[in-house]
Amino acid sequence: MLPLLRAPPFAKRYVAISRRLSAWEDLPAEPESSSQALARAVIAGRVGGEFWVPAKPIQPASRGAGARRTLVVVPRHPVIAQELWRASLERAEAGKMLVVFPCLDRHAAGLARRVIEAGGAVTEAADPHSLLDGAEHIHVVELGDLAWLGLLAGCEVLRAGPAGFEPELPGRACAMLSAGTAYRNPYSGAAADCAETIDLLRGWRRMILDNRRIAVCSGITLWKRRRIGQLLHHGSGGPVFRHTARAALAAAKSRGGGIAVWSSRMPEGLEARAAAAGVALYKMEDGFVRSSGLGSDFLPPASIVLDSRGDYFDPARPSDLEHLLASTAFDEDLLLRAQKLIAQLIKRGIGKYATGGTAPPLHAKAGQRILLVPGQVADDLSVIRGGGDVRGNAALLAQVRAANPKSFIIYRPHPDVLAGHRRGAIPGALAQGLADQISEGGAIAPLIDRVDEVHTLTSLTGFEALIRGRHVETYGQPFYAGWGLTVDHAPVNRRRRRLSLEELVAATLILYPLYLDPATGLPCEVETLISRLEDARFWQPSLLMRLRRIQGRLRAMMQQRRLAQKLP
């Protein structure tokens, strides 16, 4: 027999999270209090069995599973199925029964028709928790997922045998979770306990249900598609990829779901056509802890965000992230987790694209205040939509210099611009005239640790600086501005809630993104991804990435020559 707590199909090729140790009959009949607590956690978390299978319709459609008081779980064998149905009729009214078939195929058609004619309802095997809702009694021939979970949920489980129905003891189901099964962590391979495994499966279930909203992806470049498919897997499948608005809408309608689209690569007319057709649209972007390397170098993301309200970087309207920040009731456990996460980010020197490293030597005078101005990509949507009145890196640098004439200012070109992949470079002579030092290359976190303040339009560097306890001033309207943690030169008036740093981090890094473990290909939490960033094995450049880097260096050299020629 299989263990009750099992991994969905997307994980089975990598790991087995549990292994049966004891036969059902060898387990104690009386549960321990710790086993009962685990049983409650399984039912509350709606995990165990094939929890990833979508709920199936009930026939007749007007009779919901919640109205059925007795589940009759019939086997595939038609003769035994009919005998179980007849025996169940002696103990319960047909009108209070939901008969669960392995599959409503032609072999089940005759019995299914008789059940419906008698006033009962029928369905196929599906998410067991959807079938257990409202059930009090379960009739079976042999013990399976529904019987085990029913016992954990407090249902009466009767097993049909030669002498009639015999009740099963709930204590054995509880003991199976603890004493009867061994567990291991799928990411590390180390031994795990039942409570850890329940938490893992609860997280996977939330991800599966969220991902089930997405039927189609659009605007996704070829080199990202495999990784995006892994991030958006929904238990037994994933989204399809379509290039045009028409094809994306057709696929969404046929598959009964929404469309996830990369904001900067949205097909023309997709947003308006999706709204007119009533198809949900989700804006997709890189997560805030993404990888050890640049996306512009064709390194796929290990984290993404999906937003049903808009783009998190567009202050024109509230996004899902802004909604989380404005309305979430952060409990103590979540805030403690955020506090530990902050400590790990600081200790490991984690940024969006890099980890570790050392800061360059700074040439500031003793006692001189050190300001960091991070450059941004000129055509980045966060700059275009949220940059406020400041137009470009040179304008920002000039404004910061004018307001802080005696400070030591470091200008940090954006890594994508420095690599030659994106626009936003400013002439070297101009940058050197406004800044005291130009910092190129290396990880950003060690540099933030050496400065007093960060002045930025909308750069994620401002968020990373807040995590490290630095003073941050924003000249645009980034997602982290307006919550009482930054000095805002272009405030977002609707953001009035005051947040702690732990609350900002909890929403932004724990609740909002999706993460993938690059070692196993499994969905994970942010802490697992952070632990992988320092392992170079998972971030080795491919041949395509190497060629891309060479192309970028040549482009960057040519761009600087053109800019230098334009200077007076």
Q: Which residue has the tokens 């050496």?
A: 450
Cα gap 142→140, rounded to integer Å? 6
From residue 486, alpha-carbon distances to 260, 393, 498 in Å are 32, 20, 11
Q: Does residue 353 contact residue 533 with C-beta atoms inside 8 Å?
A: no
Please tell me the predicted confidence (pLDDT) of residue 163: 83
Residue 134: HSE in the Cβ half-sphere, 13 Å Cα cutoff? 12
Three-state DSSP class for residue 114: helix
Q: Which residues contact 447 (CB under 8 A, 6 or more apart)?
A: 359, 360, 372, 410, 412, 439
Q: What is the pLDDT along the chain (568 residues), one digit of tens a residue?
A: 678 898 888 876 556 788 877 666 666 666 667 788 999 999 999 999 999 999 899 989 765 545 568 999 999 999 999 999 999 999 999 999 999 999 998 889 999 999 999 999 999 999 999 999 989 999 999 989 999 999 999 999 999 988 889 998 888 888 888 888 899 999 988 999 999 999 999 999 999 999 999 999 999 988 889 899 999 998 878 899 999 999 999 999 999 999 999 988 999 999 999 999 999 999 999 999 875 544 444 578 899 999 999 999 999 999 999 999 999 999 999 999 999 999 999 988 887 656 666 777 888 888 899 999 998 876 677 777 876 777 788 889 899 999 999 999 999 887 666 655 556 567 667 778 888 988 877 778 889 999 999 999 999 999 999 999 999 999 999 999 999 999 999 999 999 999 999 999 999 999 999 999 988 889 999 999 998 887 766 655 555 555 555 555 556 566 656 655 555 5
Buried b (16+ CB within 10 A) or exposed e, 274-304: beeeebebbbbbbbbbbbbbbbbbbbbbbbb
Q: Which residue has the tokens 């470079």?
A: 425
Please tell me the predicted confidence (pLDDT) of residue 169: 83
Q: Which residues contact 305 (CB under 8 A, 6 or more apart)?
A: 284, 285, 286, 287, 288, 312, 321, 512, 513, 514
Q: In what order do the strands lie in the sheet with 370-374?
A: 437-438, 408-412, 370-374, 453-456, 471-474, 487-488
Pick the closest to residue 154 from 140, 169, 176 (CA basis). Answer: 169
In one-letter notation, the amino acid at residue 412 is R
Q: Which residues contact 58 (CB under 8 A, 6 or more apart)?
A: 64, 65, 98, 121, 122, 123
Q: What is the pTM of this model?
A: 0.84
Q: Positive or negative, the Cα torsion across 290, 233, 285, 203?
A: negative
Three-state DSSP class for residue 479: coil
CB atoms within 10 A of CB 308: 14
Please tell me the predicted confidence (pLDDT) of residue 294: 45
> Mind giving me the DSSP string for 163-224?
TEEEEPPHHHHHHHHHTTEEEE-TTT--EE-HHHHHHHHHHHHHHHHHHTTEEEEES--HHH
380 φ, ψ (degrees, to nearest 5): -65, 135
Pick the closest to residue 154 from 176, 174, 180, 130 (CA basis). Answer: 174
Please tell me the predicted confidence (pLDDT) of residue 433: 82
Please tell me the predicted confidence (pLDDT) of residue 363: 83
Q: In the structure encoding, which two tokens stand for residue 39, read together?
A: 């049983």
